[in-house]
Amino acid sequence: MEKIKNYINGELVAPIAGNYIDNYNPSTGAIYSLIPDSDKDDVELATKAAKAAFPEWSKTPKETRARILQKLASLIEDNLDRLALAESKDNGKPLKLAKTVDIPRAAANFNFYATGILHYASQSHSMEGTAINYTLREPIGVCGCISPWNLPLYLFSWKIAPALAAGNTVVAKPSEVTPYTAYLLSELCIEAGLPKGVLNIVHGLGHKVGAAITEHVDIPVISFTGGTVTGKQIISTAGTMFKKLSLELGGKNPNIIFDDCDFDKALKTTVLSSFANQGQICLCGSRIFVQRGIYNKFRDAFVEKTKQLKVGNPLAEDSNLGAVVSKPHMEKVLSYIELAKEEGGTVLVGGHQVKLEGEFENGYYLAPTIIEGLSYNCRTNQEEIFGPVTTIMPFDTEEEVLMMANSTVYGLASTVWTQDITKAHNMAAKIHAGIVWINCWLLRDLRTPFGGVKSSGVGREGGFEALDFFTEPKNVCVKL
């Protein structure tokens, strides 16, 4: 069986202790490769390599760094089909999604920061003839980047690209649930001519590799995307070591649909925002609030459209949903559906596992699920499920829906559907979230700040925010 390798000091290497864990294909439930079960010794080796590479990489002209990262982006584009197939096999997502979203976005992340760094400049503040301040932005050192399984290469590269562009070196850990495209990326880094030690990829479990990165004294910066519980563990270690932290965590995002919306657009996008990537995007809308005047009409049309979605082999062109990422995750989502029923919810569509035939009979498939009749403050409506499950609830007034929308510990994203521009702006101002989409969803401009408030995270990714995060400001005041 194929053994995935770590990428340390420019070379593909086996884990020091020689241990491996199984890698499953969620669409079949079969083990198809082995992942290094690395430990703190591998992290130590990677950190040493990253530390040794830092002086030269940080002094390499930004134009040279940009050229190498652009070469990497081109190689990702050249390998689109291979990478998309690998992502679909590792994660269970529809191949067409990996081809049109995940892999192009990974290339875009490298291109964006390769060019972004060329436009990133020092600020200066003049003190009217007395003095002038200029603020240098310097790379920090070795950065730890820890990423999740839902958008594997997309989110892995979203961290690595700005860290490297800014002149840092990196020790990165992809999710052990979906390691394969990070492994392929390491091959492409070698082909792109990334100097050895600049990027190091250590595969393995969160409580071993992730924890070793988090607590390493020579890694002063941690950028993490994943679950809120893990985020808390990272803060409790890295916070006390005064590390610079960026945490992009969970969401329980409201979709707020007013009577005066463009009905067809709101409906079409709500189907997408509920079930894209099997509902495994931190930005998916998982609580749908519909104003009473159109509630019945919207609910019935939403159920009808959801019934038409095909759950199937991720490689098939006509599959709308593939498999969820793992058996434990499927069981977690199913347990929330049971909880919803106990809490008085009615399953309008879905609510069960989908059994496919032939080689897919042991895959982890779930029917897209809509649940009605729950109170806004029950556990189903407060906790992140992270699967193809959404709830639908009526509301009457702006005040009422704001109260319900803002009632969770999360505050990542929201959508608002209305033709009334004043109402849209008022809602945007009052929603507790880092991102508000008005009459759209997941329309991404990579220059914008990306992240959440409350338990959805700390800090922002995207645009110059990420370059600010991956650099340290130094103010120099010159007396005139």
Ligand X SMILES: O=C(O)/C=C/C=C(\O)C(=O)O
What are the catalytic residues? Answer: 248
| Residue ranges binding ligand X (CB under 6 A) | 148, 150-151, 155, 158, 225, 248, 281-283, 444, 450
Q: Which two tokens stand for residue 93?
A: 């997502």
- Alpha helix stretches (DSSP H) within 119-250: 152-165, 180-192, 211-215, 228-238
Q: From the CB of 97, what's the least distance to ligand NAI, in Å?
A: 16
Q: From the CB of 172, what's the least distance to ligand NAI, in Å?
A: 10
Q: Which does 444 bind (CB under 5 to 8 A by kind): ligand X, ligand NAI, none?
A: ligand X
| Residue ranges binding ligand NAI (CB under 6 A) | 146-150, 173, 175-177, 206-207, 210-211, 214, 225-227, 230, 233-234, 249-250, 282, 329, 332, 384, 386
Nearer to ligand NAI, 146 or 446 (CB): 146
Q: From the CB of 198, what's the least distance to ligand NAI, in Å?
A: 21
Q: Which two tokens stand for residue 15?
A: 């884990």
Q: Which does 141 bind (CB under 5 to 8 A by kind): ligand NAI, ligand X, none?
A: none
* Residues 10/197, Cβ–Cβ less than 8 Å: yes
Nearer to ligand NAI, 75 or 146 (CB): 146
Cα-flanking dihedrals φ and ψ of residue 235, to 5°?
-60, -40
Instruction: Determine the Cα–Cα distance for residues 87 and 325; give it in Å rounded to an integer.
Output: 11
Q: Which does 146 bind (CB under 5 to 8 A by kind): ligand X, ligand NAI, none?
A: ligand NAI
Helices (H) then strands (E): counts for the chain: 15, 23
Q: Which two tokens stand for residue 434?
A: 């880092």
Q: From the CB of 50, what's the least distance to ligand NAI, in Å?
A: 17
Nearer to ligand X, 150 or 246 (CB): 150
As beta bridge partners, residue 201 has: 7, 172
Alpha carbon of residue 5 to chain centroid: 23
Q: Which does 15 bind (CB under 5 to 8 A by kind): ligand X, ligand NAI, none?
A: none
Q: Which does 227 bind (CB under 5 to 8 A by kind): ligand X, ligand NAI, none?
A: ligand NAI
Q: Which two tokens stand for residue 403?
A: 């109260």
Could you tell me which of 28, 11, 31, 9 has the C-alpha nearest to residue 20? 31
Nearer to ligand X, 231 or 351 (CB): 231
HSE-CB at 312 with a 13 A cutoff on CA atoms is 10
Q: From the CB of 60, what's the least distance to ligand X, in Å?
A: 27
Could you tell me which of 6, 16, 8 has the C-alpha nearest to residue 52? 8
Burial (CB count <10 Å: 0-12, 13-18, 19+), residue 392:
buried
Nearer to ligand X, 47 or 175 (CB): 175
Instruction: Determine the Cα–Cα distance for residues 235 and 222; give it in Å rounded to an integer.
Output: 10
Instruction: Determine the Cα–Cα distance for residues 143 and 136; give it in Å rounded to an integer.
Output: 19
Could you tell me which of 113, 17, 95, 32 has the C-alpha nearest to residue 313? 95
Nearer to ligand X, 195 or 227 (CB): 227
Any idea of the CA torsion for 385, 98, 145, 275, to the nearest 10 degrees? -10
Nearer to ligand X, 158 or 275 (CB): 158
SS3 per-residue string spanning 419-460: CCHHHHHHHHHHCCCCEEEECCCCCCCCCCCECCCHHHEECC
Q: What residue is closest to ligand X based on CB?
A: 282
Q: Which does 250 bind (CB under 5 to 8 A by kind): ligand X, ligand NAI, none?
A: ligand NAI
Q: From the CB of 299, what's the least distance to ligand X, in Å?
A: 26
Q: From the CB of 451, what's the least distance to ligand X, in Å?
A: 9
